[in-house]
Amino acid sequence: CAGLVILGLTHLAVAFRGGLPKPDEADRGALLWIAGGLAGLIGCIALGGGFVIAITILFASTARGFGRRALAVDAAIGFVLGLVIFLVFAKLLTLLLPLGPLERLFL
């Protein structure tokens, strides 16, 4: 606990002395891709698209926001991850995530 207090006080002293570097400009394009993916996730779930498709949209758009250009590969990875997560929750934990037409095939 004392170590954390010392680190906090040291960080505070450096901040007030102006020893911190200036932050970089925000990459607005990346922020828009990620925010768009989150909006796509919310919209997909709200319109009954289901969890797996919503996670696919979020994963692919977030990967694009981080600069990756292989949209089809990212969508496939997001689909597999979403499906595995859905099946773990549905079968092992017996908790249902938002259902869509695709998820109903696996129940």
> For 2-24, how does the pLDDT look when each residue is reduced to its tens digit (9 = 90+)?
899 999 999 888 888 876 778 88
Whether 37 is covered by a domain: the verdict is yes
Domain assignment of residue 76, given as a range: 25-104
Average pLDDT, stretch 64-68?
96
Whether 65 is covered by a domain: the verdict is yes
Cα 86-91-93 angle, rounded to 5 deg: 85
Whether 7 is covered by a domain: the verdict is no
Whether 1 is covered by a domain: the verdict is no
What total number of domains does the chain contain?
A: 1
Whether 48 is covered by a domain: the verdict is yes
**Alpha-carbon span 86 to 50, nearest angstrom:** 10
Full-model pTM:
0.78
**Alpha-carbon span 24 to 64, nearest angstrom:** 20
23-35 pLDDT, tens digit each:
889 899 999 999 9
Whether 95 is covered by a domain: the verdict is yes
Whether 10 is covered by a domain: the verdict is no
Whether 51 is covered by a domain: the verdict is yes
